[in-house]
Amino acid sequence: MVGSGPAGAATASALAGAGRRVVVIDPGLTLEPAREAARQRMASTSPPEWRPEDLALTSFSAGDERASNYKQLFGSDVAFRDDGVLPLELSEDVGARPSYASGGLSNVWGSGLLPYTEEDLLGWPLSAADLAAGYRAVLELLPFAGEDDELARRYPLFIPPDGPLLRTRAGEELLGRLRRHATVLGGSGYVFGAPRLAVRVGHPAPANGCVYCGHCLDGCPYGHIYNAAQTVSELNRGGAIEYRPGLHVDRLRETDGGVSIEATSVADGTGVHLQAERAFLAAGAISSTIILQRSGLLPQRCEILDSQALYLPFAWIGRVGQTGREAGHTLAQVTMVLDDPGVAGNPVHLTFYTYSGGVAERARSAHPLISRVLGPALEGLTRRLLVAICFFHSDDSDSVVSLWDASSGSVRLDPVSNPGRAQVIRRFTRALARSLAPLGIVPLAPFAEQAPVGGGYHYGGSAPMHGHAGLGQTDTLGRPAGCGRIHVVDSSCFPSVPGGAITLTAMANAHRIASAAASGEQS
């Protein structure tokens, strides 16, 4: 297993469950000791007892300028910190970045769990039924907060959720307004409901579930927001797998009866060689792509598909409750999908967030002039905002090209523009204005921010699965053309990247491939 992120955790779980001997290797970067100590102190007490200095150290705004463009965990850049092994050059317009942390991108994810529909899987050599067992297995593995609501008509739950993650009053008001206009919105292609989140909701809190402290965006000190490192650590502790952090995998090569793995020690830069019966690649879409390029299994110039994000603020009109002045979680409050072919060829997913401290901070950094003019009034105004993160299908998004230069031994990531994207965004914001403004939820399109390509961290598709895999493709078990023992199991093997939550499907597909490989299935 290469990688300890969500796809790696699902694979390791499936293989260990099938009685296979599994070794998980990755760079395995972890939180700095001071921050980890602060987190542990916080986890051992309840929020009112947290020390101010621990809160300051672990706040999302505690990181330095260098890390401010990337999501942080407890104020640390650990999720995106360079491990110092591979020279990587990033174009300014690219937000994608590999994660070398133990747990990968699940250190900083929004924890959304929504399966792909049959429509999302158009062009895939798989149907929704092929993924169903994987979805069920993975949801059993994860904490699963959710509700059996109108969303289930389009997105099956697979298993009963553990319970609801309660919304803030503003979140409740938002969903209430949408539900009161469900017929009209449904006629315009909208589907919505309570978000499904990989968050523990057991009781009593904080020991068994969310305590609604509002620090979700900093990181949950109690570990109630799922992190794949938890699964890997539990399997390792229980002896079901062996976890060997500190290794940056460079290349994979099939040999007679096995796979040769070349890696570099993160600690001292020395080369390490491992031999395995079979290899599962789940290093994250950027790292997996680079490993495949370096292994000669993908071309030196390779496109990575992205489901690009748009951050769209909305103004609340009317009574909104005591937004931001109550205990609550700061993850998504409402999930919405707009499926209107007149707007975009593929469904656009929106996750709505109500007030958090980050909104005012983001407004200050994105619009410094307006923020200075508004002064102290900015805080009050941002409390009357909702923010939706909107994810578009990879067909409606820019993409990233990974350029492997064998002579210099370095990689460069560049953006590739999609000429149709601007038009899709214009149609999308107009459609929202037509449908939601009459409900008192007014999109503020001029203040929308487009994330740089890859900046929403929903990417993959560099080694797409195909029924008859050719060069640069993989078969339905994620094996690159000509390979029998190397499986690409993360989102790199997605034929497209639909809008919306990517992690659940990445995990379900990884689980499907690992289960099939463990049982000796060939195709």
Contacts of 256-259 spanning 24+ positions with Cβ under 8 A: 258/485, 259/485, 259/486
Number of residues written out for the chain:
523
Q: Does 163 bind another protein (CB under 8 A)?
A: yes
Per DSSP (E only), the strands in 115-246 are 190-193, 241-245
Using CB under 8 A, pick the residue from 47, 125, 246, 358 that binds another protein. 47
* 189 Rama class: left (phi>0) / alpha (psi -120 to 50) / beta: left
Burial label, 381 (beta-carbon count in 10 A; 0-12, 13-18, 19+):
middle
Nearer to another protein among residue 132 and residue 205 (C-beta)? 205
Stretches 105-113, 211-219, 249-257, 372-380: which one binds another protein (CB under 8 A)? 211-219
Distance CA 138, CA 241 (A): 17
Which H/E stretch holds residue 252?
strand 247-255
Pairing of strands 449-450, 309-316: antiparallel
- Beta-carbon count within 10 A of 493 CB: 33
Task: Residue 392: name the closest of 309, 303, 481 by CA.
Answer: 309
Using CB under 8 A, pick the residue from 23, 88, 132, 166 that binds another protein. 166
Nearer to another protein among residue 156 and residue 321 (C-beta)? 321
Using CB under 8 A, pick the residue from 19, 187, 204, 470 that binds another protein. 204
CB of 520: closest distance to another protein in angstroms? 42
Q: How many residues bind another protein (CB under 8 A)?
A: 26
Considering only residues 298 to 327 of the shown chain, the ones binding another protein according to CB under 8 A are: 319, 321, 326-327
Per the listing, tokens 């090209």 go with 401
Per the listing, tokens 């505690």 go with 62
Nearer to another protein among residue 179 and residue 301 (C-beta)? 179
3 state DSSP class of 460 = strand
Sign of CA dihedral 60, 65, 69, 72: negative
* x/- letters, 435..474, toward another protein (CB under 8 A): ----------------------------------------
- Dihedral, CA of residue 100, residue 200, residue 357 and residue 37, to nearest 10: -60
Using CB under 8 A, pick the residue from 128, 205, 374, 403 that binds another protein. 205
CB of 155: closest distance to another protein in angstroms? 18
Q: Does 262 bind another protein (CB under 8 A)?
A: no
Q: Does 415 bind another protein (CB under 8 A)?
A: no
* x/- letters, 139..158, toward another protein (CB under 8 A): --------x-----------
Pairing of strands 258-265, 271-276: antiparallel
Nearer to another protein among residue 281 and residue 320 (C-beta)? 320
Distance CA 80, CA 67 (A): 8
**What six digits make up the tokens of 123?**
């062009």
Using CB under 8 A, pick the residue from 80, 100, 190, 212 that binds another protein. 212
Stretches 168-176, 349-357, 369-377, 436-444: which one binds another protein (CB under 8 A)? 168-176
Using CB under 8 A, pick the residue from 199, 210, 336, 348 that binds another protein. 210
Q: Does 203 bind another protein (CB under 8 A)?
A: yes
Under the rule (CB under 8 A), what is the footprint of another protein? Answer: 46-47, 147, 163-164, 166, 168-169, 172-173, 176, 203-206, 209-213, 319, 321, 326-329
